[in-house]
Amino acid sequence: MTGVSLSARLEGRVIFLTGAASGIGAAIARRCVAEGAAVICADLNGAAVEALADELGAQGLGVTCDVTEAASVEAAVAAGLARFGRLDGLVHNAAAPSPDGSVLDLTAAQWASEIGVNLTGAFLTCKSAFPAMIAAGGGSAVMIASQFAQVATAKSVAYCAAKAGLVHLAKAMAVDHAADGIRVNSLSPGAVATSRLLQRWPDLAAADEGLGPDYLLGRIGQPDEIAAAAAFLLSPDASFVTGTDLLADGGYAVR
């Protein structure tokens, strides 16, 4: 976001964002507010999301929320509506640390947990938020997936399957809700410098050095680069874009 002159293309819009407390989610929250939106920042990590909302000021609301629990998501959406009075967009970005493993390695509980946060979380978020978006005359929904929705990687069966499911869920919802004025897309990042990478790498410099050569651009991405793509999909600039997957992966999946 630094050095870029931002427009006010999200002025007056209210966006519900899951997994807002850190990494890509926090970058999306900051970008949306910088472009004029109000953001309901929902996350399991209540303290971190409150701190982010404090930073965002009047255009931010922090809500503790577990996207795997229907009542929790409904309460978070209701809190957002009570504060801002409308809803024009949502981003489902929440993800828990993913279990490494093949189908033989993972337990059924690990599988269910990964599907729960990524995929069921998206279902519950859209189910709770869409009625208010329809009441507002429509809006834009963005599912944060992964390049591993398009191409597979080793020992990540649950993550690959959950993210591929998210991409197709976006398409199916785009079909159902076009007539409501809701555009639904997925956004698939390649590796991005967040604490998520520290599951497998000692630090972000090591992650960049190790993973960078797999990317056409020779490096991993930054959270702000994904936030810029999310802001585009949320904005009127993407008014003719629905039911698609936007790869923001530095060219990882092209070969």
Query: Site residues (CB under 6 A) for ligand NAD?
Result: 18-19, 21-25, 43-45, 65-68, 93-96, 117, 144, 146, 189, 191-192, 194-197
HSE of 222, CA atoms in CB hemisphere, 13 A: 5
Which of residues 62 and 139 has its CB atom nearest to ligand NAD in the complex? Answer: 62
Shortest Å, Cβ 65 to ligand NAD: 5
Shortest Å, Cβ 197 to ligand NAD: 6
User: Which residue has tokens 């976001």?
Assistant: 1
**In this chain, which residue has its C-beta nearest to ligand NAD?**
23
H or E element in which residue 43 lies: strand 38-43
User: Is 159 one of the annotated active-site residues of the chain?
Assistant: yes
User: What is the side-by-side strand order in the sheet with 182-189?
Assistant: 60-64, 38-43, 14-18, 89-92, 139-144, 182-189, 245-248
Cα-based angle 34, 228, 178 (whole degrees, multiple of 5): 100
Residue 137: exposed, middle, or buried by beta-carbon count in 10 A (0-12, 13-18, 19+)? exposed
Which of residues 19 and 139 has its CB atom nearest to ligand NAD in the complex? Answer: 19
Shortest Å, Cβ 207 to ligand NAD: 8
Q: Which residues does 131 contact at the CB level (< 8 Å), separation at least 6?
A: none
Catalytic residue among 84, 159, 232, 252: 159
Which of residues 169 and 191 has its CB atom nearest to ligand NAD in the complex? Answer: 191
Shortest Å, Cβ 67 to ligand NAD: 4
Which of residues 87 and 211 has its CB atom nearest to ligand NAD in the complex? Answer: 211
Residues labelled as active-site residues: 159
